[in-house]
Structure 1
Amino acid sequence: MLRRKLGNMEQAADLAQDTFARILAANQYHELREPKAYLTTVSTRLVAQHFRRYALEQAYLDALASQPEATSPSPETVALVVEALAAISRVLEGLTARTREIFLMSQLDGMKYVDIARQLGVSVNVVQKAMIKGFQHCYQAVYSTDAS
């Protein structure tokens, strides 16, 4: 299944290994009633994560390609930025679609709450509440003792 979805034997092998590593790290494999379904679910989520990371990396590399050569970051910096973008993406996935959209419109696009409300057809109060949820979620992701 992984080979079919990824179209690459090496990537499929890497994700298969990641799948088993994740299952073993959870240490709940002996309690599984449907091990095949569980394997499929974990591996499918890892494939989705792989494609999201690839899309982020490509967007970043495309943005870098439009920069003058003198301002191009080192390969190490590129790797660090891609990893940071992937971590941010994982955190934002925990928000509802609307809250994530509002949060990104404010934080990335620099839009004012009034403009966001007007564009989305909601009240400023809805935007404020979504921003509070977004900030609380990000705070929990960064400062929670459970975060790894």
Structure 2
Amino acid sequence: MVAFLWLVWYQATTRVTPKHWALAVTYELNERAFATMYQIIGDGSGMGQFAPNVARRVLLMGTQGPHSYEGKLLLGEIFDNIIGALEMYSESAVDIVNTNNRRRGIGDSNCQDWVLIIVRSLEDAHWLPKGTLGRVERCPRVG
């Protein structure tokens, strides 16, 4: 079965803070579709460490926790076997982000880096069209 992978971003808390990015999977192109959201959230330690989070049956254009929806970008069509691997990619990418934060400093890497790692991996595996990473890199990042 074919699904659709989206980058979704949410309003930043201030004009100088990063927007929250998440990946969403839907089975419809409809903007009112329900999605499975993949994201990372702070682990509560205040040390710049994150944990993967999966939320099911979330409105594609809905609020995510404290974050108000702002925009989205369709990344491409994906198949069910890729969706199954998405949680594994998510966990690996959060490990990379957390390791980078431990080495370089608190908050140096965030949800946007996590998305970029996953999209790069999916594009390198030819599961997303060539050029997808470049499109993601041009999406709004700050306030």
Q: Which structure: greater strand fraction?
A: 2
Q: Which has the larger radius of gyration?
A: 1
For normalisation by structure 1, the TM-score amounts to 0.30
Q: Which structure: greater helix fraction?
A: 1
For normalisation by structure 2, the TM-score amounts to 0.31
